Every structure is written in C-alpha cells, then in structure tokens.
Amino acid sequence: MDIPPSSDPNRRWHPPPTPWNHEHQGRNEYDRRASENGDPGQYSANHSLLAVVWDTGVVDIVLDEATLRQLLVVLEGIGVLAFTISGILVAAHKRLDLVGVVVVAFLTALGGGTLRDVLLDRRPFFWVANEEWVWAVVALSVLGPLVIRARHLRPTTQAMQWPDAVGLGLFAASGTHIALLEGASPLVATLMGVVSATFGGVIRDILVNEVPWVVSSYQLYAVIAFMGGWLVWGLRVLGAPDVVAVLAGAAAIVIVRMLAIAFDWRLPGWRLGNRF
C-alpha cells in the first residue's frame, strides 16, 4: 500500500522495515522546541507519532498520524471509564446519594488528568477537548447505582480495586507520553504519569472520608505507575511507535497491579521500634 507523500517538500518518506516503522515526516513537540533552542533534542524525528506500517504478509496496514493519535485518545477514554466505575463502586459502598455518586465518579475519572494538564499548562483540558467523556461519566454515574441496587450488589474492596487498576495503567502510560510530547524530561514525564494515575483516586478517597489508597497501605500502587512510566519512555528511546509504547506500559502496570491485589504484594514499611 502506498503512503501519500507529505505536502512539505523538506520531508521525505523512508521505506519501512518489518514489522513496524516510524515515518520520518517531522519532529514531535519536544524535538521542535529543542531544535528552536539550538539543541537537537533527546528524541529524534523518528519518534514522531506519524505513521506505522504493519506487514501482515498479505496486505500492508497503514496507520497515519490522525489514526494513531485517535488510538491514544481512545486508550485515555477507556481509562476515564475505568476510573468512573471505580468511583461509582466506592460511592455505592459508602451509600452516597445520586449527586454524591456523580461528584465522586467525576472527580475520580477526571481529577488526575486535569491536574496533569494544569501542571503542564495544556489547554484545553483533556476532558474539555473530549466532551463526550463527561457525558459518559454522568451516564454511568446515573445508571451504575441503579444496576447495583436492582441486583442487590455489595461492592467488595477487591471489586473496587480491579477497575482502578485498569485506570491506573492507562493514565500512567498516557500521562507519561503526553508529558514527553510537551517537552518534559523523562523524570518529570514519569512523575506526570503518576499524578495522572493517582490524584483522582486521592480526591475520591478524601471525599468518602478514607485514607487514600496511595498512602494507606504498603501494597504496590504508585510505584507501579512510576516504573511503568519509565517503561514507556524506554520503549520510545528504543524506537517503538508511541502507541506501542503506551500500550505496553499500560499493560505492564495493569498486570503488576492486579497481581499485587491478588497476592497482596507489599513494600516493607517502618513500624514503632524501627522494625519492619
């Protein structure tokens, strides 16, 4: 399958290796800003999320820039829905009314990403640019409690943690990726991923008068998001397409978090008498 040439005469298409290739059609935001300052930038042009060619042996599947960016938006949307479900279950467990459920779900789903956008000075906020997510959060917040009540369900602690694990992985990976595109250093980018993944849950737990999960126990939580962010950065440095780096980072975080929940993996903690 032929890839249409760029409209910019200074940009050239390069033949893709198998199975994937970044098309050298330009630089990402980080490289653009770095080049303007006379620095070549940490990420070269082949890290631009512009096109991926997958050779299936029968037909070449080409994902252009718009498609790849839309895939990343979809991943973040799935994270929003996962955190929404987590907020609904926590609110239902606390027997909040409808308004309380909507508020808790909304802040759980959108709080972390909003703080990330504030710290990175991104406008519009991610949920303003994707208004349909707000409607999805509201719809789930209204329908979720009705289903729970109709089926006489009693959310358990683990039931509340499973969707939270999915949101943790998707927001940590996408948050790290977004920060890298905004020109953040690897350390700052991974911290932005942690903020994206955990701050909504912190607000949720405070609203329901609980000590936030991120600090209430020694079970692996924020540290998983932090390490997953470094995985996203490392894969990009190695030349993986952005969407692959985000997917791999998110999957790793979700899997490790679910294993930590299932097997109660914990970090060592200090107790009185300086004993573990």
Note down the domain range covering 18: 12-63
pLDDT of residue 271: 63
- Rounded to whole angstroms, how far apart are CA atoms 89 and 161? 9
Residue that is written with structure tokens 């679910």 in the block: 258
Q: Do both 195 and 259 map to the same domain?
A: yes
Q: Do both 88 and 186 map to the same domain?
A: yes
Query: Other C-beta atoms within 10 Å of 6: how many?
Result: 15
Q: Do both 30 and 88 map to the same domain?
A: no
- Rounded to whole angstroms, how far apart are CA atoms 172 and 178? 10
Question: Is 51 within 8 Å of 63 (Cβ atoms)?
Answer: yes
Under-50 pLDDT residues of the chain: 1, 3, 6, 11-31, 33-34, 37, 39-50, 54, 56, 59, 276
- Rounded to whole angstroms, how far apart are CA atoms 87 and 112? 13
Q: Do both 39 and 133 map to the same domain?
A: no
Q: Which two tokens stand for residue 43?
A: 């990420």
Domain count across the chain:
2
Q: Which two tokens stand for residue 169?
A: 């992985």
Exposed, middle or buried by CB within 10 Å (0-12, 13-18, 19+), for 48? buried
Q: Which two tokens stand for residue 20?
A: 């994937």
Q: Do both 49 and 80 map to the same domain?
A: no
DSSP letter (8 states) at residue 189: H
Question: Is 61 within 8 Å of 68 (Cβ atoms)?
Answer: no
Q: Which two tokens stand for residue 93?
A: 């467990």
CA within 13 Å, CB half, 113: 32
pLDDT of residue 35: 53
Residue that is written with structure tokens 């020109």 in the block: 183
Domain assignment of residue 137, yes or no: yes
Q: Do both 223 and 106 map to the same domain?
A: yes
The pTM score is 0.76
Q: Do both 44 and 180 map to the same domain?
A: no
Q: Do both 163 and 202 map to the same domain?
A: yes
* Amino acid at the residue 124: P
Distances (CA, A) of 60 to 20, 26, 221, 237, 240: 10, 22, 40, 25, 18
Domain assignment of residue 82, yes or no: yes
Q: Do both 30 and 87 map to the same domain?
A: no
pLDDT of residue 272: 56
